[in-house]
A and B are shown apart, each in its own frame.
Chain A
Amino acid sequence: MARLTPENVELAHRIIARYPRPKSATIPLCHLAQEQDGWLTDEAMVHVAELVGCTPAEVLGTASFYEMFKRHETGRYCLNVCTNISCQLLGGEELLEHAEQVLGVRPGGTTSDGMFTLEDVECIAACTEAPAVQVNYRYFHRLGPDDLDQLITDLRSGALDDVVPHHGTLGRVHQDLDGDRIANITPPEAQTEPVWIRRHRELAESNDGGAS
């Protein structure tokens, strides 16, 4: 663990070649390192610096801005429980407390088996589905304590391996939302008006219809 493997170095060179300046590949290469190790190690940052021709301090300065680059050992599953306003009103804090008890760690901690890192997060843009949880940035909506227990059991057993890849994995498994929950799949060029204006109009029309 640590520096990039020979296969990843080869991939790194291909990534660097996509940019006019090698330094522009800093963030993609940090992702690559995090995918390899599950978190961004110091050795990996040194290696990325060598590959893009800057100093490790610059890589650290860049990577440390981004919450999703983990600079401490992180479990296979990073469990983010939202406690921002919508989720809080609908039981997010209780859910977090439940998760603490079930996993036996405080937010920021990692279970001793290296499976879970628990995080208390601010709004993750799923207020309509509160309380919401992310596992490795894949959403799980409207969870109660029992749902969370089941989720943890499923993750431990590997039942969700197809849905939730290991922490750090990039773009292999895409978001899986029910069709009616997808906000807008019309390509921008085919749209006549922004989706939120259309929804607003549709809602207003249906309300009018109900009233008359």
Chain B
Amino acid sequence: MSEPPRRIEITEPVTITVDGREVTAQNGEWLIDACERNDAYIPRFCYHPRMEPVGMCRMCLVEVDTGRGPALQPSCMLPVTPGMSVDTTNDKVAKAQDGVLEFLLSNHPLDCPVCDKGGECPLQDQTMAYGPGESRFVEEKRHYEKPIPISETVFLDRERCILCDRCTRFASDVAGDPLIHFIDRGSQTEIATFPDEPFASYFSGNTVQICPVGALTAKPYRFRARPWDLEEVESTCTSCSVGCRVTIQSSRNQLVRYQGVDSDPVNWSWLCDKGRFGHEASNSEDRLREPMRRSEDGALRVAQWSDALGAAAAAIRSVDPSRVAVLGGARLTNESQYAWTKLAKSVIGTDHVDAQLGDGLPAEVVLGLPGASIDDVCAKGGTVLYLGPDPKEELPVLYLRLRHAAVSDSVRIVECSPMRSGLSPYAAASLQYAPGELPALVAALCSGDVPDGGVAGVDADTVRSAAALLDGIDDLSVVVGRANLAETAGVVVDAIDAVRSARPGARYLSALRRGNVRGALEAGMSPGLLPGRTTIATGSATWTEAWGAVPTAAGLDGLGILDAAAEGRLDVLILLGADPLTDAADRSLARRAIAGAGTVISLDSLPSASTLQSDIVLPVAAFGECDGTTTNLEGRVTVLHQKVTPPGTARTDWMIAAELALRLGGDLGVESSQVELWDELVKHSAPHDGLSSAALAAQEDPDGLLLPLDATIELAATTPTNVPPRSADSLRLVVNRTLYDSGSAISHCASSAALVPEASVRLSPADAAAMGLETGTFVTVASSHGSVSVPAVVDPGVPGGAAVVRHNLESVDAGVLVDAADPVCDVRVELR
């Protein structure tokens, strides 16, 4: 797959001559890019527009005259200078290209007929275009064992490798995981991992995409299709909220591969492995194909759609609307979210609607803070206050952007986190605070007023030097999110308040994880909220006119819904792709809620603990199986495309909403396609002005359209969360997420399921020493709520007084420790 040149804005034009034509280029840009942009494509293997050039393959040699006479030079490493004259096609250049290819092919096995890359291989293509017809190399070629696995998902064929340094440069310069390297440099150079230390990078799949030959192949795609059999459409990955642009490729109505597309404001062509290999979950044998109903004997049995929908409608119709709640929906398309909001808030008449399970940030905060785009946060020379979760684990490509900003664009990141994260090595300052005490730390950082005893468990000098980085920075970018699920959102809101009062000019990026959570909030999937960043107070008139009826009072939020269900105050609980039984931070609350809710209706594409407990299960179309739009964490709206048909009789979420509305005597006003829903939202929503389906379809680039960054919801004053002091004999719990958890997207993905880590409790070396335990010691972690047994891991990245467990790992159910009603969770760690 060839990478298009980066679009650039020419700020310093110079005139150069390319193949006899005078053209304009940007002073100092690489010659190879300038030529390509001016219709003189120069062949290359090692050059990648998103990485620093190394001049490794010599394929891009062209004849350049800078006034000292013509000479062959590698155009990937030559900056454009005024008056430069380039010849990209003359005999000398052709001979050089021919020679380079003959060398590259001398040890290449030419096993194209059995190579996955065949048909889309730069080496194959360029040999055809520029190479020698035959080789003079008659000796025996090099042989290696092939292919060898270098990770769970990536295979390496060293015979095919042309040593272009792309994968190794990606690993060290882009991902920061230099786990593959050239070894035995010289005539025996090869790519290798350290023995028994696999290329376990969250970004390993990118190396397969950028490999210019078939040396690196990914297990999920190996021998699945030939490039000329693939059909493809462009779409946006919804595995997390970064919204990376992807090409979805299918063969015979089955998704076989996702490739990153270079979207300049978002993913720069990179993807994380969870997103890249997510099609394995879509293709899973376990996919829900037919509706199911719980029968008299208590078992879930396949049912007709009409039966299942009829039962769902009957259950909803038979109860008071205030006893119906809709939970989840953060992974739906914008259109489905809008349809479900309209169904719940207008047709059913309940405001108990929340796309988040109490593990996000309040909608008013996300929509009420002045926004910052990813580009704003990563802008050269800026300063970022990072208060979000570990981006490497939750929003991997945002981590790549932040890492690049810190390493290459001199962005200073001040990170406050409950333990060291993937971002910490690149942060100008990384402070590990005691859980619950973030607001005090942030206030001290913004004011520079630091008590001598330190603050939030961080010593005074560290806080002061970090505060110095923020001193006088008025246009601060702040990334906010939930770094600790055992801490209430109120603590983060208090920290945001501290920044707002000290830095009124600050702008915010909400680092919420679920695919389209931002779209859900924009569509009004939150209590008290209506679409288009309006509340019941401000938007009633507009939306009553559009819908006929809207709720008159704010309903329950995610935690409130779970509480109400647990207490028997809900008769119908609709789960839109939500799985509270494995995903809610407070596990026992979720259990009581599912047990206590009258009828549980679950819409999902894969079976989960919650669907198995539901009374009615409706199968829905997954990613790549439906059209629509999605909104990423910045508020960027991009178009999703369907590539394959959903399995069985699975339907798109909005279709189910429309059908239910009809059965409930309402009408969502959608006749045939989701476009009608989107255009209805755009028509009535001020922030969506200019984002009509026609405007989105007219976009030439893959970048989509950004919703206005300026807030339109008024932030309500909040009461500070009261965090009790920690007693000396307990530790304060941190629950954070890992990329590969036991959620259904991973557990049904063959190549990723093996990467789910073992559960553990991480303790600081000091606490571990005081308790006399070391890594591997089994301990009991007990809160007032529950207890679990896990092996301890001594981790210098954990601050004293904290105990860190990963959220949602099947081996240990850490969710039983947390009580959502408490602001923080204290635990005792004891030797078993």
Contacts and interface: CB of A to CB of B under 8 A. Distances in A.
B194 A60 contact: yes
Interface in A45-93: 45-46, 54-61, 64-65
B179 A61 contact: no
Contacts of A129: none
Contacts of A97: none
Nearest 9 Cβ contacts at the A-B interface: A61-B181, A56-B194, A64-B183, A57-B194, A57-B181, A65-B185, A64-B184, A55-B178, A57-B179
B27 interface: no
B730 interface: no
A57 B178 contact: yes
Given A42-B195, A56-B197, A65-B186, 9 more contacts: A46-B194, A55-B178, A55-B194, A55-B197, A56-B194, A57-B197, A58-B172, A61-B185, A65-B184
Contacts of B172: 58
19 contacts: A42-B194, A45-B194, A55-B177, A55-B194, A57-B178, A57-B180, A57-B192, A57-B193, A57-B194, A57-B197, A58-B172, A61-B181, A61-B182, A61-B183, A61-B185, A64-B183, A64-B185, A65-B184, A65-B185
Please classify how large the interface on chain B is, using the bins under 10, 10 to 19, 20 to 34, 35 or more: 10 to 19
A58 B181 CA distance: 6
Contacts of B178: 54-55, 57-58
B301 to A, nearest CB: 53
Interface of B: 172, 177-186, 192-197
Interface string A120-141: 0000000000000000000000
Nearest to B184: A64
B144 to A, nearest CB: 16
B179 to A, nearest CB: 5
B179 A60 contact: no
Interface string A153-178: 00000000000000000000000000
Nearest to A45: B194
Q: Identify the interface centre among B177, B183, B193: most chain A CB within 10 Å of its CB.
A: B183
Nearest to B177: A55
A180 B480 CA distance: 75
Interface string A17-31: 000000000000000
B192 A60 contact: yes
A56 B177 CA distance: 11
Nearest to B193: A57
B148 to A, nearest CB: 14
Nearest to A56: B194
A161 B185 CA distance: 34
Contacts of B195: 42
Nearest to A53: B425
A63 to B, nearest CB: 9
A56 B183 CA distance: 12
Nearest to B188: A64
A55 B192 contact: no
A127 to B, nearest CB: 23
Contact of B179 (A45, A46, A55, A65): A55
Contacts of A61: 181-183, 185, 192
Contacts of A56: 194, 197
A64 B190 CA distance: 11
A24 to B, nearest CB: 16
A68 B309 CA distance: 74
Nearest to B172: A58
Contacts of A60: 181, 183, 192, 194
A42 B194 CA distance: 8
A56 B181 CA distance: 10
Most chain B CB neighbours (cut-off 10 Å) among A60, A61, A65: A61
A65 to B, nearest CB: 4
Contacts of A57: 178-181, 192-194, 197
A45 B177 CA distance: 17
Contacts of A65: 184-186
A83 B182 CA distance: 29
A57 B168 CA distance: 11
- The listed residue with most B CB atoms (<10 A of its CB), out of A45, A46, A59, A60, is A60
A201 to B, nearest CB: 38
A176 to B, nearest CB: 31
B407 to A, nearest CB: 14
A98 B185 CA distance: 32
Contacts of B181: 55, 57-58, 60-61
Contacts of B182: 61
A59 B183 CA distance: 10
Contacts of B179: 55, 57
A60 B184 CA distance: 9
A42 B180 CA distance: 15
A45 B195 CA distance: 11
Nearest to A42: B195
A158 to B, nearest CB: 35
B181 to A, nearest CB: 3
A27 to B, nearest CB: 14
B441 to A, nearest CB: 27
A139 to B, nearest CB: 24
A66 to B, nearest CB: 9
A61 B185 CA distance: 8
Nearest to A54: B178
Contacts of B196: 42
A55 B178 CA distance: 7
A67 to B, nearest CB: 9
A157 B182 CA distance: 41
Contacts of B180: 57
B222 to A, nearest CB: 23
A157 B138 CA distance: 51
Nearest to B199: A57
A59 B194 CA distance: 9
Contacts of B184: 64-65
A107 to B, nearest CB: 16
A102 to B, nearest CB: 29
A55 B195 CA distance: 12
A112 B90 CA distance: 61
Question: Among the interface residues A46, A57, A64, A65, which one has the most CB atoms of the partner chain B within 10 A?
Answer: A57
B174 to A, nearest CB: 15
Contacts of B177: 55
A41 to B, nearest CB: 11
A26 B685 CA distance: 60
Nearest to B168: A61
Nearest to B182: A61
Contacts of A59: 194
Contacts of B192: 57, 60-61
A46 B183 CA distance: 15
A65 B182 CA distance: 9
Task: Kindly name the residue among B172, B178, B181, B193 whose own CB sees the greatest number of chain A CB atoms within 10 A.
Answer: B181
Contacts of A46: 194
A58 B178 CA distance: 7
Nearest to B190: A64
A134 B182 CA distance: 29
B185 to A, nearest CB: 4
A171 to B, nearest CB: 25
A54 B171 CA distance: 13
B619 to A, nearest CB: 44
Contacts of A58: 172, 178, 181
Nearest to A59: B194
Nearest to B196: A42
Nearest to B183: A64
A31 to B, nearest CB: 18
